[in-house]
Copies of this chain bind each other. A is one copy, B any other.
Amino acid sequence: MLRLSRLTDYAVVVLARMGEEATALQSAPGLAHRTGLPEPTVAKVLKTLAQAGVVEGLRGARGGYRLSKPLPEIKLTEVIVAFDGPIALTACVDGGSGLCESEHLCPVRGRWDPVNTAIRDALEKISVAELAGHALSPAEADFRLAAE
């Protein structure tokens, strides 16, 4: 279905929430509570985002996570790549050869590259802030907390 992993979706939610107070240090449990997402999942998401350098993790008691750059500067591709791997339609990844067993049989080898770059370009222009949009309004936040 050309779908990206659900974790990517969660990541955007979490990042949007972090963007409300970009400078503050926020803990995984805290973010879990405020987003309404299960705590272990949020923890996993943040760990991955930290590895990707999208957020910065500080250890120890009173530790937490912080955006490593403002929300509008975080490109959607960064998040997608972190969870779904390199953006490449089809199993034969990019120029990597040797993996495909029937390499010499495959007449379209490498031909997907223009498609991939087209998609990459399209996603490159979108920032996480654009996906967050009005979802950050306090009104919705209250609504969501009340629903618990």
Contact = CB atoms under 8 A, between A and B. Distances in A.
A4 interface: yes
A107 B2 contact: no
A27 B40 CA distance: 53
Interface stretch (A45-53, A55-63, A140-148): A140-148
Contacts of A105: 36, 144, 147
A130 B114 contact: yes
Interface in A1-53: 1-4, 6, 8-9, 12-13, 16-17, 35-36
Contacts of A135: 107-109, 111
10 contacts: A1-B84, A2-B88, A3-B89, A6-B90, A104-B144, A105-B144, A111-B132, A111-B133, A118-B123, A118-B126
Closest 3 CB pairs of A and B: A107-B135, A118-B122, A122-B122
Interface of A: 1-4, 6, 8-9, 12-13, 16-17, 35-36, 76, 80, 84-92, 102, 104-109, 111-112, 114-115, 118-119, 121-123, 125-126, 130-133, 135-136, 140, 143-144, 147
